[in-house]
Structure 1
Amino acid sequence: MPPTSCPVHRAPRRSRAMEAEGFAPCHAPVLQTKVFKYRIWDMDQKLLYLRNDQLVAGHLQGANAALEEKVFWVPNGSFTRARLPVILGIQNGTRCLASPTAPRPTLRLEDADIRTLPGAGEASAPFTFFRTYKDGLWRFESAANPGWYLCTSARAHEPLGLSRGPDATHVLDFYFQLC
């Protein structure tokens, strides 16, 4: 391994001679974001799975249980920690849930690296959800669309979406378990 030099007061200029001598300037530390892997299901016991490029919730039994999508999440330090901000994704965090600001917001999957999104500041708002916990259940409120929560349909095998509140057609409460 070549030697490195890192003056505290200023970064040196690189030259070919320095590179030939094995001199390497120091770089800012890379932000390490720990990615967590969880199971998530709604209070009606519907699991999440991918169908036609949409995340849906349904009862999976037998061989179909293998279809369950695990949810990957990272904390998002761009928002107040007390609100428990997280970015949620599937497929090892390569596809993230997003809810861009809109009068009637929608939920979609976007190709994005879950590890880099927390460094995007306010631009990460569409990917961020605030977690709340009560009586063993979690809710996920959209940071970009306050008052709108991640939800499943009361009917099985319907797409995951957003709702303003629980009602006869939407389930907002989830179980969230570390894998």
Structure 2
Amino acid sequence: MASALTLSLFLLLCAEAEGFSPCQAPTLQTKVFQYRLWDVNQKSLYLRDDQLLAGHLQGANAALEEKVFWVPNRAFEPTRLPVILGIRNGTRCLASHPKTSTTPALQLQAVDIRELPHTGEASAAFTFFRSYKDGLWRFESAANPGWFLCTSARGHQPLALSRSHDATHLLDFYFQLC
């Protein structure tokens, strides 16, 4: 028993001498989910000129559809279902920075979706609260409360943010695991 204790102490001292920290907490792993997101008018998301657009994609164009990658964001109240959304395997994330004009802008930013949940409150611009009703999802900006992801009633328009649900702004989405 004494030799096992001595060996453990020796290994611990050697590890510390070599710069290892055996008691270091493991890094929190972030699982990335891949989903399909489309609006209630069956418009899919696709990328053109660095903008995420929503439009009807048929035939060969169906291959242009962007899959949405998401991770939960534990920095916010879990009952609000906070998520970070991205495309291109989570290398381009949707960001809604606090508004500086009358309408907040939605942008794609080159950041790693797996790193953002570890930035705490600084990830607010990338966080959206999900809500579900009658088979449809809405995504509210954490940085701009009351503003939701939306598509235009017209096809091939940019994904944007809107405060109102009306004939021109569609706030409801289908959200399905790929």
Answer whether TM exceeds 0.5 for this pair: yes
* Post-superposition offset of 1:104: 1.9
List 4+ stretches of structure 1 deviating above 6 A: 11-15
- Matched with 1:176 is 175
- Matched with 1:149 is 148
Q: Distance in 1 between matches of 2:67 and 2:56?
A: 15
Which blocks of at least 5 consecutive residues in structure 2 are unaligned? 1-6
SS in 1 for 2:112: coil
Q: Give 2:69's aligned amino acid.
A: F
Which blocks of at least 5 consecutive residues in structure 1 are unaligned? none
Percentage of identical aligned residues? 70
* Post-superposition offset of 1:25: 2.1
Q: Does structure 2 retain, via aligned residues, the 8 Å contact 1:33–1:115?
A: yes
- What are the residue-to-residue correspondences of 1:1-179 with 2, within 5 Å? 18-19=17-18, 24-26=20-22, 27-102=24-99, 103-179=102-178
CA RMSD of superposed structures (Å): 2.0
* Post-superposition offset of 1:13: 9.2
Q: Distance in 1 between matches of 2:8 and 2:122?
A: 33
C-alpha change, 1:6 and 1:166, in structure 2 (3 Å) is: farther
Q: Give 1:84's aligned amino acid.
A: L
Q: Distance in 2 between matches of 1:106 and 1:12?
A: 54
